[in-house]
Structure 1
């Protein structure tokens, strides 16, 4: 029931959960079923022919039977290993900026949350675009840029940026000289903005450790644009 009832924003997340829940035989059957459906669709789209519904149904029913009675004694392909998630204190004077982006049904949302070295929320924000298609890569890059702008607005000097997008982390950290593509030019502009910090670092984190920024993204998808700042008493850290 978990694979059917749980809401997923990306197909890859659903497949990763399936790998952790199912054993090898069951997962192979699942992939075979998905492939049969996709292959039949491609035959119709590119060759103008598709198998009779009865043939496809019989094949799927047989595979589904195997899928339902899979041997639960066998271990999943990827074992579920508990991940220790806890706040790690930052070096004194550093601020952590978590960024995330979500693309769903031609809507794009981004979220930013900023915390000081003791874990207190300094501020954050999020926004969205309606009926404006944007690839996930561009959305994540835009969210990262908004995180930089928001950090500058709070006069952050030493920053640690965290995102669960490996592509963005790789692109920012490797500083690829890409002057041809539009995204390469945008990345170069981001590097210039990052040079305004005294010290700056970019880290990849697991999606499960980026829940607050992800929540702001989803609120932004509902046309909820917001930016906020926290004003604490001077002795809050004492």
Structure 2
């Protein structure tokens, strides 16, 4: 930010630390929680915020073109950057769950359009389903919906039900006329016949 001839460093949107690339992509609490989630999911045990970005990526990347371990860190970096920008320019609070969900959604979308497939999960089939994969090609992997804002000073409730391997659940979210989260809920559905 430049103001009256002074150059001031910007502050991190999630912790008010002086912002730099290493902080935004590795050290910020949103970044740490995101990396730890995927590090645990892949059972890599390589997350270390003291590493440089290059050294950290070397822990993730493998020498197999299109492998999911090469895709995931790129998506994480991209969505961390978008989350940071959305916070700065749109005033939306940063959240690691947003980044994690966006990475999962993008993997599911890549699977749906066959840019990646189950073969790209070599040695990591245990994360295939968690990241939006399905062994049954007849099952649609991604459904895209357009969300329309309600009229000014109104709220919109969206609900959904999920049935997966005899487990059922429900959830919903309420958003205001600006699209901001107001409340959400989720829970199991018991004794459901289908």
Interval of TM-score (by shorter of Structure 1 and Structure 2): under 0.3
Please identify the structure whose Cα radius of gyration is greater.
1
* Structure with greater contact order relative to length (CA < 8 Å, sep ≥ 6): 1
- Alignment TM-score, normalising by the size of structure 1: 0.23
Higher relative helix content: 1
